[in-house]
Structure 1
C-alpha cells in the first residue's frame, strides 16, 4: 500500500476548507479533504489531474 505525502494548497490560509494533494507516488495523484485526513482518498492519473487542475484555473 502506498503511503501518500499530502500537502495543502499554497492558496490555503489554514482557516478555510481545502483539499490536500499528494504527488509522491508514481502514476497517481491522490486528493483528500483536509478536514477528514482519515477519510476517503481520490486517485487520479497525472494526466487526469492536470486536466482537472487546468480547467479549474481557467474558470477561476
Structure 2
C-alpha cells in the first residue's frame, strides 16, 4: 500500500549513502583490535591440539 501512495525507491537518502560508504567510521585505536574473527588454535587446525576434543576450539596452544 505504501508503494502505491508514495514510492521512495528512486530516492537515495543521505543516511543510506553514509552507511554504504562508511562515512564517519573511525579507525581502530590500536593495531590488532579487530576481534570480529573467531580465534582458533593453530595446533587444532593441524589436528595436534590436545584440547581439540572439547566442543569449542581452543584459542591457545596446549
Q: Considering fraction of residues, name the structure with more strand.
A: 1
- TM-score with structure 1 length normalisation? 0.21
- TM-score with structure 2 length normalisation? 0.21
Name the larger-Rg structure.
2
